[in-house]
Amino acid sequence: MENGFKQFSLKGKVSLVTGGARGIGLGIARALAGAGADVMIASRTEAQLKAAAASIYEACGRNVGTFCTDVSDLSGHAAMVEATLQRFGRIDVLVNNAGSNIRKPFLEVDEADYDTIMQIQLKSVFFLSQRVAKILKAAGGGKLINVSSLTSQIGVPNISIYGAAKGGVFSLTKSLALELAPYHINVNAVAPGYVRTAMTEAAFSDPKRLEWMLSRIPLGRFGQPEDIANAVLYLASPAADYLTGEVIVIDGGWLSA
Ligand SMILES: NC(=O)c1ccc[n+]([C@@H]2O[C@H](COP(=O)([O-])OP(=O)(O)OC[C@H]3O[C@@H](n4cnc5c(N)ncnc54)[C@H](OP(=O)(O)O)[C@@H]3O)[C@@H](O)[C@H]2O)c1
């Protein structure tokens, strides 16, 4: 990629990817590093961060930075951003990917469940974006990329908080795109369909659910982290400089049916 079409090159750019230690986030970090970016990955599990960094080095020969933090704790954001600036000197791209889910019937959800999911899936996205946008504005521009979900646009039982949070991310992407456009900050999102990761393992382990999910996907297969990462790579690159406020649904055609 580094020697490929230069509109897709991220050489000289610095990306911060939350939740970059496994699953979709690791796929994203690997793609950005493969395109020449310096990448900082953040999550709560030091061992996974180290393993992810080693696997990215093995895949594309680039050293990535790691930062162990709970992204839902806003008091840790300053140190995470500072560590990225200290290590790489700048930030050009923020990927708000970290997330988790609690599967529960709506009638059983309590306030603690609500706060846990909203905090990581929406509140932290809001305030980390704000913090990084100030840096991007001062630098003359950059890219904010959010990870929403197919469930921002369809109803799915037992994940009401998650769906509401991802709907919030969808809407936030549009609002921020307008507010930040004057500063040459592009704000876009990807909305993955079903990708087998630690977060979705329960759904994938249920044969009936698996069959139902697959029956809804015209392309006949589940997503891979790379399917999502490729779209993020595009959004992060100069090739997407004229794109803002867009949410790209990557669902194998589910939503078109
Ligand atoms: N998989 C899907 O089908 C799917 C579909 C639509 C959208 N998404 C979204 O895609 C994103 C990535 O999900 P995934 O499927 O790749 O899940 P995953 O494999 O569970 O990965 C989630 C990543 O986020 C990190 N993380 C979770 N909570 C965190 C916190 N409070 N602070 C810091 N890091 C945290 C995790 O590390 P630690 O737990 O070690 O902190 C991990 O690195 C999420 O936003 C998810 O909602 C996934």
Total domains in the fold of the chain: 1
The answer to whether residue 32 is domain-embedded is yes
21 — pLDDT class (breaks 50, 70, 90) = very high
Q: What is the pLDDT of residue 95?
A: 99
Q: From the CB of 163, is ligand 1 less than 6 Å away?
A: no
Query: Is pLDDT at 164 greater than 60 in this prediction?
Result: yes
Rounded Cα gap, residues 31 and 35, in angstroms: 6
What would the pLDDT profile of 30-86 be if each residue is shown by its tens digit?
A: 999 999 999 999 999 999 999 999 999 999 999 999 999 999 999 999 999 999 999
- pLDDT over 50 (residue 208): yes
State the pTM of this model. 0.98
Is residue 22 situated within a structural domain?
A: yes
Residue 109 resides in a domain:
yes
**Burial environment of residue 68 by CB neighbours within 10 A (0 to 12, 13 to 18, 19 or more):** middle
d(CA 147, CA 167): 11
DSSP code per residue over 147-183: E--GGGTS--TT-HHHHHHHHHHHHHHHHHHHHHGGG
- Residue to mutate (ligand 1; options 16, 17, 24, 228; most atoms within 8 A of CB): 24
**Residue 84 CB–ligand 1 contact under 6 Å:** no
What is the average per-residue pLDDT within 147-162? Answer: 97
Give CA–CA dist 15/92, Å, rounded. 6
* 175's tokens: 């609002």
Confirm whether 180 is domain-assigned: yes
Taking a C-beta distance cutoff of 8 angstroms, is the pair 124, 98 a contact? Answer: yes
Q: How far apart are the first and last CA of the chain?
A: 34
Q: Where are the beta strands (DSSP E) in 51-176?
A: 65-68, 93-96, 142-147
Residue 257 lies in a domain: no
DSSP 195: B
Q: Does 169 contact ligand 1 (Cβ within 6 A)? A: no
Q: What distance in Å separates the CA atoms of residue 243 and residue 183, rounded to the nearest whole number? A: 14
Please work out whether the CB of residue 125 comes within 6 Å of at least one atom of ligand 1. Answer: no
Q: Does 256 fall in a domain?
A: no
Percentage of residues of the chain with pLDDT beyond 90: 96
Quick check: 2 pLDDT over 50? no
Q: How far is the CA of 127 from the centre of ligand 1 (A)?
A: 18
Ligand 1 centre to CA of 60 (Å) is 23
Q: Say if 149 falls within a structural domain.
A: yes
Is the CB of 129 inside a 6 Å radius of any atom of ligand 1? no
Instruction: State what percent of residues in the chain have pLDDT above 70.
Output: 98
The residue type found at 231 is A
- Could you tell me if the CB of 9 is within 6 A of ligand 1? no
CATH number at residue 30: 3.40.50.720
Residue-level pLDDT at 192: 98
pLDDT at 196 over 50: yes
Atom of ligand 1 nearest to the CA of 225: 16
Q: What ligand 1 atom has the least distance to the C-alpha of 148?
A: 7
**Mean pLDDT to the nearest integer, 111-118:** 98
Best residue among 199, 221, 232 to mutate for probing ligand 1, ranked by most atoms within 8 Å of CB: 199
Average pLDDT along the chain: 96
The rounded radius of gyration (Å) of the Cα atoms in the chain is: 17
Distance between Cα 140 and ligand 1 center (Å): 30
Is pLDDT above 60 for 142? yes
Three-class DSSP category at 15: strand
Any idea of the CA torsion for 133, 135, 141, 145, to the nearest 10 degrees? Answer: -40
What domain range includes position 207? 6-251
> Does residue 5 surpass a pLDDT of 80?
no
To 10 degrees, what angle do helices 23-34 and 46-60 make?
Answer: 40
CB of residue 70 inside a 6 A radius of ligand 1 = yes
Q: Is the CB of 247 under 6 A from ligand 1?
A: no
114 is an active site residue: no
Q: Is the pLDDT of residue 114 over 60?
A: yes
pLDDT at 171 over 80: yes
pLDDT digits (tens, 9 = 90+) for 87-112: 999 999 999 999 999 999 999 999 99
Which is the catalytic residue, given 57, 162, 183, 234? 162
Check whether 3 has a pLDDT greater than 70. Answer: no
- Residue 241 included in any domain: yes
Q: What average pLDDT does range 195-220 have in this prediction?
A: 95
Residue 233: pLDDT over 70: yes
